[in-house]
Structure 1
Amino acid sequence: MSESQILLEGFLQSLAAGLLVGAVYGLMCVGLAMIFGIMRVINFAQGDFMMLGMYAALFMFTGLGLPSIFGSIVGPYVAILLAAPLLFAFGYLIHKLLIARVTGIRTVSMEGEGHYAQLILTLGIALILQNGGMILFGSELVSIRTPLSSSAWEIGPFWGEMVTVFLNRGRSISAVFSLLAILALALLIARSRLGKALRASADNPEASTYMGIDVDRSYRIAFALGTAITGVAGGLLATNYPFHPFVGLEYVIVMYAGVVLGGIGSITGAFWGGMAIGLVQQLSTLVLPTQLQNTAIFVVFLIIVILRPQGFFGRVVERT
């Protein structure tokens, strides 16, 4: 194999891996966009909601005996689907009991529009979830074992008989799962009455109240949806990567970078922002050590923010 063929194969392999990982990152970022974009809440606990999704899927998979019912291939994805309603209910309760105290119409009269209280509250929730997870689950690395994560489809050859690309089956299924989830969410937001209420509450909460929309309920549902979506993304990651109670710290900054890249307030943009991060992360390994992947992400992030501050799909005008 010539040097040019080796370079091409390495590039195509990294590109394929970036697209597959980026699709799951995109789903993760969409979950945060539901909260950050609609409610304007800087949620430090979002990464820990993802961690809960990982453990919920793991215990659904092992505790309900899903491997014996659905097998070790289909079982993990059934577990992820079963975990989603639990994460939705958890997010709904967290908002109703805690987040609602520092968000919504009532924050207009608060100093800094309640953002100081939101920062402290979500940081406190994050610390409780991390340390509570350490107490309950321990510090050992665990994962959802599936045969798909250790097998691949061969695509090619593309150049003679030498250049081929291998697609990890577990990552590929997770990417398809992510795309279907985002499509379903996009239809919900665009076509349903609930979606219209969410968009109206995000654009102008006061006017929405005058039109008879329960803004607090819309925020509660948005928070619950964002929690469930990020939890599902966590479950998909758990089928390919080991995790522990502090894994959320590794991803929460990536989530915010994806949301800002895509454009605050844009669900579609958040997905493409996550996709861009996945591509940069994987392509950077062609020229940089693995330890510097996050450095490459934020270099690209800074360049894009400088050239296009509103993000890929953000609006130039400032929201009132």
Structure 2
Amino acid sequence: MSDGLILLENFLQALAAGLMVGCLYGLMCTGLGMIFGIMRVINFAQGDLMMLGMYAAWYLFTGFGILAFLGPYVGPVAAAIVAGPLLFIVGYFLHQFLISRVTGVSVAASDNQGHYAQLILTLGIALILQNGGLILFGSEPVSIRTPMSSSAWEIGPMVGEWVSVFLNKARLVGAIVSVLVALGLYVFVNRTRLGKALRASADNVEAAQYMGINVDRAHRIAFGLGTAITAIAGGLVATYYPFQPYVGIEFVIVMYAGVVLGGLGSIVGAFWGGMTIGLVQQLSTLVLPIQLQNTAIFAVFLLVVFFRPQGLFGKSVERV
């Protein structure tokens, strides 16, 4: 096998891995993007809420075995999806009892619209979730046991008897589910009455109130949905990635980078921002050591911010 074919195979493998990981990153970023896009809240606890989603999926399938009857292929995916509604409830009441005190109509006229208090509050929630998780779940890394994580589908050979691409089953299924969930969210926000109410609350709080929309309730639903979507992404990642209570720190940086890359306030842009990060992360391994993946991500991030401060899709897509 020639060096050219080896390089081609490595490139295609990295490209495939980047697309699969990028879809999962995109779903994570979509959850955070929804919270920021509708509520204008910088949520430092988003990664730790994703961690709760990972543990929820783990307990549903492995810990308590509630969904184990679905088998090792369907069960983990079902657990990740069910983790979404569970974390929606957590996010809904978290907003009702804590986040609502520093967001929404009550602080709209205050200095900086409560942003300083939001930063401190969400950082405090993140620390509580991390240390509470350490007490409840322990520090030993766990993952959802599924044969999908250690097996792959082969595409090829594509050039004679050479150049094959292997698609990890857990990542590929997670990517497909991520795209379907993101499409479902897009349809919900743009086609349903409740989704239009969320958009109205994001665009103009005062006008939304005049139209009879309960803005505080809309914000609670948006925060719950953003939490649920990121939890589903976390449950899917848990099928192939070991995690522990501090895993949120690893992903929250990726989420914020993806949201900024896509364009602040754009839910669609957040997904494509996450996709971009996944591609850069995986393709960078062709020329850089794996330890420098994040360096490549932020090199691209700085370039985009320098040449296009509004993000890749800041003006080319409608904020939803």
- State the TM-score, normalized to the length of structure 1: 0.97
Q: Cα distance, 1:120 vs. partner? A: 0.4
Q: Say whether the 8 Å CA contact 2:27–2:233 is kept in structure 1.
A: yes
Q: Distance in 2 between matches of 1:183 and 1:315?
A: 21
Q: Secondary structure at the match of 1:166?
A: strand
Q: Distance in 1 between matches of 2:196 and 2:313?
A: 19
Q: Secondary structure at the match of 2:246?
A: coil
Q: Distance in 2 between matches of 1:141 and 1:17?
A: 23
What is the match of residue 122 of structure 2? 122
Change (3 A) 1:147 1:67: farther
What is the match of residue 32 of structure 1? 32
Q: Say whether the 8 Å CA contact 1:174–1:236 is kept in structure 2.
A: yes
1:189 aligns with 2:189: yes
Segments of 5+ residues of structure 1 without an aligned counterpart are none
Change (3 A) 1:88 1:68: closer
Residues matched between the structures, number:
318
1:154 aligns with 2:154: yes
Q: Distance in 1 between matches of 2:309 and 2:111?
A: 27
Q: Distance in 2 between matches of 1:62 and 1:304?
A: 41
Q: Secondary structure at the match of 2:108?
A: helix
Q: Say whether the 8 Å CA contact 1:261–1:311 is kept in structure 2.
A: yes
Change (3 A) 1:217 1:77: same
Tell me which moved more, 73-82 or 250-259. 73-82
Q: Distance in 2 between matches of 1:67 and 1:311?
A: 41
1:8-157 alignment, distance < 5 Å: 8-66=8-66, 68-157=68-157
What is the match of residue 281 of structure 1? 281
What is the match of residue 210 of structure 2? 210
Q: Distance in 2 between matches of 1:146 and 1:63?
A: 13
Q: Cα distance, 1:305 vs. partner? A: 1.3
Q: CA RMSD in A?
A: 1.4
Letter in 2 for 1:152: A
Q: Cα distance, 1:65 vs. partner? A: 2.5
Q: Distance in 2 between matches of 1:63 and 1:5?
A: 45
1:253-277 residue CA offsets vs partner (Å, 9 max, x unmatched): 1101101111111111111000000
Q: Cα distance, 1:110 vs. partner? A: 2.2
Q: Secondary structure at the match of 1:42?
A: coil
Q: Cα distance, 1:244 vs. partner? A: 0.5
Q: Cα distance, 1:81 vs. partner? A: 2.1
Tell me which moved more, 95-104 or 156-165. 156-165
Change (3 A) 1:214 1:150: same
Q: Cα distance, 1:64 vs. partner? A: 4.3
1:292 aligns with 2:292: yes
Q: Say whether the 8 Å CA contact 1:18–1:278 is kept in structure 2.
A: yes
Letter in 2 for 1:35: I
1:259-318 residue CA offsets vs partner (Å, 9 max, x unmatched): 1111111111111000000000000011111111001000001111112111122138xx
Tell me which moved more, 25-34 or 205-214. 205-214
Q: Secondary structure at the match of 2:213?
A: coil
Q: Distance in 2 between matches of 1:67 and 1:313?
A: 39
Q: Cα distance, 1:111 vs. partner? A: 2.4
Q: Distance in 1 between matches of 2:178 and 2:204?
A: 30
1:229-248 residue CA offsets vs partner (Å, 9 max, x unmatched): 00000000000100000000
Tell me which moved more, 137-146 or 59-68. 59-68
Change (3 A) 1:33 1:305: same
Q: Distance in 2 between matches of 1:57 and 1:68?
A: 11
What is the match of residue 168 of structure 1? 168
Q: Distance in 2 between matches of 1:108 and 1:228?
A: 26
Tell me which moved more, 122-131 or 255-264. 255-264
Q: Say whether the 8 Å CA contact 2:44–2:122 is kept in structure 1.
A: yes
Identity, % of aligned pairs? 70
Q: Cα distance, 1:212 vs. partner? A: 1.1
Letter in 1 for 2:151: S
Q: Cα distance, 1:68 vs. partner? A: 4.5
1:189-232 residue CA offsets vs partner (Å, 9 max, x unmatched): 01000110111111111111111111111111000000000000
Letter in 2 for 1:25: Y
Runs of 4+ in 1 over 6 A off after TM superposition: none
- State the TM-score, normalized to the length of structure 2: 0.97
1:113-152 residue CA offsets vs partner (Å, 9 max, x unmatched): 1001000000000000000000000111100011011111
Q: Secondary structure at the match of 1:154?
A: strand
Q: Cα distance, 1:62 vs. partner? A: 2.4
Q: Cα distance, 1:12 vs. partner? A: 0.3
